């Protein structure tokens, strides 16, 4: 049966977003490759900072053919690691993948290597290393300019050459793996920091929020501004005799506003940065980020209120929002505050489809939508801050 690699890649990407443990993520990826493409074995050389080495910790395939976990440990000077770390070697790749057959072809073409003795030596050493691991395809996984790992694949079970669509699948998967691994490590760090120290946890959360902002070229700094506005509104509300948020509420609001758009990790950058109107399908993808954000954070203990803020910050006071269509006071206060802060910053920021509103115009719009889109009490607090020059 023919494999739909586009569908498989989309499904793998969705699953990767929700997996927070790096080794679980790797195990899932390798299992998918072995089953779908039917390779004899697959492994990932994963960089371990504490050892400054690339180590195969998990492999998949038939016993006797796969690389034994822990057997392979390469330092940054090893041939295959040097090959992928040197940008000048990129033209030698086959659309992002290093094929053993391609190395053989290059080495046989003596004329192309004239005056390139260092490249020839590196190719020979890399070839020897791949053959010693019984690997015919190697695919690098980068996060920015850092080599996080190398996907190492044995032959196909039927001994046939890999098809172009299979190689493309491996390369696309490796690109997604890099971001997913980075996120998984961040989430692993988040859980540890919660247990250790709230201050360090907030610093890690800020780093993660910056990573989210980096995906959307038009909203740089958006997350930090929404956090600032949200806390200011909450402090203003706390002066009201009828509302007295406690210290825990402010802590949860701080984290929730930093992470309110975390679900955008699962939205393609082509949609986030589209210079034009969104299609219905693209709008649906955008709207899924609130629910996706809640799903991502769900496994982290002690974030109950934070998750409510992330999940419901696009609900409307009149019940016409998403994802659950909550209305009025049924919308958690933490989410209602973020909603106003988020919308205010969106209005006063330039977007590809319109110029920024003035602060006065944004306040007029908040007031106009009070009681329909926004909680009137929170809009009142925002207007008060604006008039005091604090918003």
Report all structural domains of the chain as residue ranges with CATH numbers, in order of start: 5-180 (3.30.450.40), 197-387 (1.10.3210.10)
Q: How far apart are CA 5 and CA 143, in angstroms?
A: 23
180 in the Ramachandran plot: left (φ > 0), alpha (ψ -120 to 50) or beta?
alpha
Say if residue 97 is preceded by a cis peptide, omega within 30 of 0: no
* Residue 15 phi, psi (nearest 5): -65, -35
- pLDDT tens per residue across span 216-262: 655 567 888 999 999 999 999 987 756 667 778 998 999 899 889 88
Q: Kindly state the tokens that stand for 369.
A: 């939508």
pLDDT at residue 365 is higher than 90: yes
Q: Identify the residue with better confidence: 367 or 286.
A: 367
Q: Identify the residue with better confidence: 332 or 115.
A: 332
Q: What is the pLDDT of residue 20?
A: 63
Average pLDDT over residues 195-211: 66
Local structure of residue 358 (DSSP, 8 states): P
User: What residue spans of 3-49 are helical by DSSP H?
Assistant: 5-18, 22-37
- pLDDT tens per residue across span 304-329: 899 999 999 999 999 999 999 999 99
Of the pLDDT bands very low, low, confident and very high (cuts 50, 70, 90), residue 127 is very high
- Residue 22 half-sphere exposure toward CB, CA atoms < 13 A: 21
Q: Which of 63-77, 252-266, 273-287, 308-322 has the lowest mean pLDDT?
A: 63-77
pLDDT at residue 197 is higher than 90: no
Q: What is the pLDDT of residue 217?
A: 55
Of the pLDDT bands very low, low, confident and very high (cuts 50, 70, 90), residue 18 is low
Q: What is the pLDDT of residue 360?
A: 94
C-alpha distance from residue 183 to each of 116, 150, 206, 263, 298 (Å)? 39, 17, 13, 12, 15
- pLDDT tens per residue across span 25-35: 778 778 877 78
Q: How far apart are CA 127 and CA 83, in angstroms?
A: 11
Of the pLDDT bands very low, low, confident and very high (cuts 50, 70, 90), residue 78 is very high
Average pLDDT over residues 125-140: 91
pLDDT at residue 51 is higher than 70: yes
Mean pLDDT, the chain, integer? 82
């Amino acid at each position: 049966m023919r494999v739909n690699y586009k569908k498989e890649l989309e499904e793998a990407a969705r699953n990767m977003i929700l997996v927070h443990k790096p080794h679980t993520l790797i195990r899932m990826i390798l299992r998918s490759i072995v089953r779908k493409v039917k390779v004899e074995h697959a492994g990932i050389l994963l960089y371990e900072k504490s050892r400054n080495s690339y180590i195969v910790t998990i492999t998949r395939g038939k016993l006797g053919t796969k690389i034994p976990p822990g057997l392979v440990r390469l330092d940054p000077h090893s041939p295959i690691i040097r090959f992928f770390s040197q940008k000048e070697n990129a033209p030698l790749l086959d659309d992002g993948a290093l094929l053993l057959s391609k190395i053989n072809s290059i080495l046989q073409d003596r004329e192309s290597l004239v005056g390139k003795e260092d490249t020839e030596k590196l190719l020979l050493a890399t070839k020897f290393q791949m053959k010693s691991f019984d690997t015919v395809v190697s695919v690098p996984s980068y996060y920015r300019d850092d080599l996080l790992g190398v996907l190492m694949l044995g032959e196909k079970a039927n001994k046939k050459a890999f098809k172009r669509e299979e190689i493309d699948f491996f390369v696309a998967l490796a690109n997604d793996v890099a971001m997913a691994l980075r996120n998984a490590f961040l989430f692993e760090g988040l859980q540890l920091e919660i247990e250790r120290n709230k201050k360090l946890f907030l610093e890690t959360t800020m780093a993660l929020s910056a990573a989210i902002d980096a995906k959307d070229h038009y909203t740089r700094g958006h997350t930090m501004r929404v956090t600032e506005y949200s806390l200011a509104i909450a402090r203003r509300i706390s002066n009201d005799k009828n509302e007295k948020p406690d210290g825990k509420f402010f802590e949860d609001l701080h984290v929730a506003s930093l992470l309110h758009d975390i679900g955008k990790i699962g939205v393609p950058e082509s949609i986030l940065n589209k210079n034009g109107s969104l299609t219905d399908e693209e709008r649906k993808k955008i709207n899924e980020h609130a629910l996706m954000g809640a799903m991502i954070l769900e496994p982290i203990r002690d974030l109950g209120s934070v998750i409510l803020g992330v999940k419901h910050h696009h609900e409307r006071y009149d019940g016409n929002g998403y994802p659950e269509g909550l209305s009025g006071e049924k919308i958690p206060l933490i989410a209602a505050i973020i909603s106003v802060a988020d919308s205010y910053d969106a209005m006063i920021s330039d977007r590809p489809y319109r110029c920024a509103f003035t602060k006065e115009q944004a306040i007029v719009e908040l007031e106009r939508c009070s009681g329909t889109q926004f909680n009137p009490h929170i809009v009142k607090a925002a207007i008060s801050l604006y008039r005091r020059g604090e918003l």
